[in-house]
């Protein structure tokens, strides 16, 4: 097998991480120490926002009234499908009880977290779909309190009306006009709501992603997120125009968004690369400049000899979004394993999943798809275990536990088993040493 790079990236998704980490660490420490007033000061300094942080019921009604019915219908379309998929995910999970040996019963419970914080980007773009993806999924999971934060929009005097309407429709308990690191900090520390998040979810820029990374452990997070990625696998039946369109469609996210093509055809690869500049030129600013930079600095094109090699290369990238433009789609479905979400065939595209088709668009980046999937109902649910047993079951479990404990040098552990055996079976003798 031979792998040939027709285009190599000049930068990696890790470029610039150290500077970001220092800035975010300082901001989080200041907000934790200074509380709501320090968060408000950052909102004033960075977003020039002087309004109310907590979105009122009147503001929600005003946001709904400001939106055309067609927009609300489209949001409802997306909500219905995302909710339907989340409900199917929940139905696939189950609690159980099983008898592992006579008298030893163990089981599993599914317990939703108490509070979830949902970050919804609203700076350069109003990420309406992110509100659908995060809030809806949390609600279906059974989370008791859902708080949304979104950056205040200068044109609207607060979070974008479509985001406010969507968050409310999907079931948010509280919406905050707060973005960036200060927004994430408010979710984590329970500022303005009194409900500190057990888990924080949602996409954001590099500062938001770094804030979540630093806070991980103190709170749960959906995943370690970086710039949006797309990888397209294409064979000689693919349409180079559709391939180029889909590469550019994700590159517009930002100047550091990787777009990768793995092609089984040199002719297809050359044609797609030739078309990319034309598809970039169709974009308005600042999208055009962002896509140009992303393709120049992070775009890669790889030529492979076989579909098996394409799978190997793709799995090494472990892309956030993976499209297959080719034949025998069931083969690709059965053989690809590292991706956040898979889009099979020309007829579907990342944008469909991003906006309204039903699967969640909050997905792993920077290779994390090697070990995790994206946001799902399960992210908001703790899978916890329990056990109970009869006294008679201690004859086998207690003896084995004591011997293994002593083998490990943990006498205190061993004695908890010994004590039960002596209590339950005072007239019996057991071999308690390994």
User: Which residues carry out catalysis?
Assistant: 320-321
Count of C-beta atoms within a 10 Å radius of residue 396: 14
Return the closest-CA partner of residue 55 out of 258, 241, 234, 193: 193
- Is 333 in contact with 348 (CB distance < 8 Å)? no
- Quick check: 407 and 433 in contact, CB under 8 A? no
Q: Count CB-CB contacts under 10 A for residue 418.
A: 19
Interacting residues of 41 by C-beta distance below 8 A, sequence separation 6+: 34
Residue 49 and residue 42: Cα distance in Å, rounded?
9
Quick count: other Cβ atoms within 10 Å of Cβ 171? 16
Closest CA to 210 of 186, 181, 190, 182: 181
Torsion sign (Cα): 284, 287, 290, 293: negative
| 181-202: b (≥16 Cβ within 10 Å) or e | bbbbbbbbbebbbebbbbbbbb
Contact 43, 159 (CB under 8 A): no
User: Cα(31)–Cα(28) distance, rounded to whole angstroms?
Assistant: 5
Strand-pair partners of 286? none
Which residue's structure tokens are 């397209």? Answer: 232
């Amino acid at each position: 097998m031979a792998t040939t790079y027709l285009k190599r990236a000049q930068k990696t998704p890790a470029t610039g991480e150290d500077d970001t980490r220092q800035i975010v660490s300082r901001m989080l420490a200041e907000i934790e120490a200074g509380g709501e007033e320090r968060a408000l000061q950052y909102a004033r300094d960075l977003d020039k926002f002087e309004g109310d942080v907590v979105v009122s019921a009147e503001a929600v009604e005003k946001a709904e009234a400001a939106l055309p019915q067609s927009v609300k219908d489209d949001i409802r379309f997306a909500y219905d499908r995302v909710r339907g998929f989340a409900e199917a995910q929940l139905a696939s999970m189950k609690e159980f009880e099983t008898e592992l040996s006579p008298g030893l019963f163990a089981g599993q419970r599914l317990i939703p977290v108490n509070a979830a914080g949902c970050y919804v980007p609203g700076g350069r773009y109003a990420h309406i779909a992110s509100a659908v993806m995060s809030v809806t999924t949390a609600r279906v999971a059974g989370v008791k309190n859902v708080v949304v934060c979104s950056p205040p929009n200068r044109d609207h005097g607060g979070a974008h009306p479509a985001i406010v309407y969507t968050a409310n429709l999907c079931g948010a308990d509280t919406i905050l006009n707060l973005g960036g690191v200060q927004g994430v900090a408010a979710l984590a520390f329970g500022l303005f709501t009194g409900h500190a998040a057990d888990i924080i979810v949602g996409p954001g820029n590099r500062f938001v992603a770094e804030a979540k990374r630093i806070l991980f452990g103190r709170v749960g997070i959906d995943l370690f997120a970086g710039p949006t990625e797309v990888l397209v696998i294409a064979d000689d039946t693919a349409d180079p125009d559709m391939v180029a369109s889909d590469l550019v469609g994700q590159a517009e996210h930002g100047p550091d968004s990787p777009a990768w093509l793995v092609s089984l055809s040199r002719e297809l690869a050359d044609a797609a690369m030739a078309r990319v500049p034309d598809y970039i030129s169709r974009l308005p600013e600042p999208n055009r400049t962002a896509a140009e930079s992303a393709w120049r600095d992070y775009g890669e094109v790889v030529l492979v000899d076989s579909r098996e090699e394409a799978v190997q290369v793709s799995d090494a990238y472990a892309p956030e979004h993976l499209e297959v433009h080719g034949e025998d789609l069931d083969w690709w479905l059965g053989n690809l394993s590292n991706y956040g979400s898979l889009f099979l065939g020309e007829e579907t595209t990342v944008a469909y999943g991003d906006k309204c088709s039903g699967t969640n668009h909050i997905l792993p980046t920077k290779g994390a798809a090697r070990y995790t999937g994206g946001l799902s109902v399960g992210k908001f649910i703790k899978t916890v275990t329990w056990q109970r047993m009869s006294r008679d079951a201690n004859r086998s479990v207690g003896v084995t536990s004591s011997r293994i404990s002593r083998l490990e040098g943990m006498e205190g552990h061993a004695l908890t088993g010994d004590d039960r055996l002596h209590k339950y079976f005072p007239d019996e003798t057991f071999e308690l040493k390994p």
